[in-house]
Chain A
Amino acid sequence: EVQLVESGGALIQPGGSLRLSCSASGFTVTSSYMNWVRQAPGMGLEWVSVIYSGGSTYYADSVKGRFTISRDTSKNTLYLQMNSLRAEDTAVYYCASELGIGVFHIWGQGTMVTVSS
């Protein structure tokens, strides 16, 4: 079964760091374009970052310079390293894989990140 499972969400103080993980099963994370998407409480979906199968990475302006997307082939896992966290980063974070290019095909169940003192 093709599945994505996120973990690593937590309550963290402003300025802190956190790493989210997304474990894939049924396919390899290097064979698909992989994304992080977030949803602040009561708000819509916001794209955060993508890593292409070839390794190129891209970020939304709101997280550029603070967040880093990466993957571990041996663990078949996608990561999001989040530094210099702000209150406005509070959200449920989803990972999603693309069907071909661009279409978010498989979604994880999400992990909650709360940035608060």
Chain B
Amino acid sequence: QLVLTQSPSASASLGASVKLTCTLSSGHSSYAIAWHQQQPEKGPRYLMKLNSDGSHSKGDGIPDRFSGSSSGAERYLTISSLQSEDEADYYCQTWDTGIRVFGGGTKLTVL
């Protein structure tokens, strides 16, 4: 079964960096994912597609502070030089034939 696992919460200080993790279920370590950001009271926003080899392509207007990387079944989103507007929920998402899957989301708090 295709499942994505995320930690429920993370925190980091203003100006620092944070690395969020999304883990693919067993047998699915080659799958690409997408990262999405949802700021409070807003709809989701596409950040990037992240492949198993770590290559990624970002959405229009996504700052260079956002980057992605991969290791095995783990997919990472790194946000550097944290700003207050980065405080949001972050969701990873993947797909297979006839199904789309979201992780449970990570709530990022900027201290």
Contact = CB atoms under 8 A, between A and B. Distances in A.
B27 interface: no
B34 A107 contact: no
B91 A103 contact: no
A106 B34 CA distance: 12
B46 A44 contact: no
Interface stretch (B18-26, B66-74, B75-83, B94-102): B94-102
Interface string B83-111: 00000010101110011111111000000
Interface residues of B, number: 23
Interface in A79-105: 94, 96, 99, 101-105
B43 interface: yes
Of the four ranges (under 10, 10 to 19, 20 to 34, 35 or more), the interface on chain A belongs to 20 to 34
A102 B34 contact: yes
Contact of A104 (B34, B99, B104, B105): B34
Interface stretch (A15-23, A24-32, A45-53, A65-73): A45-53
A44 B105 contact: yes
Which secondary structure dominates where chain B touches chain A?
strand
A11 to B, nearest CB: 20
Contact of A47 (B38, B45, B100, B105): B100
A35 interface: yes
Given A45-B44, A94-B43, A94-B44, A104 B98 contact: no
A4 to B, nearest CB: 10
A97 to B, nearest CB: 10
Nearest to B44: A107
A117 to B, nearest CB: 27
Contacts of A99: 46, 49
A43 B96 CA distance: 23
The 3 closest A-B pairs by CB, nearest first: A102-B95, A58-B98, A47-B100
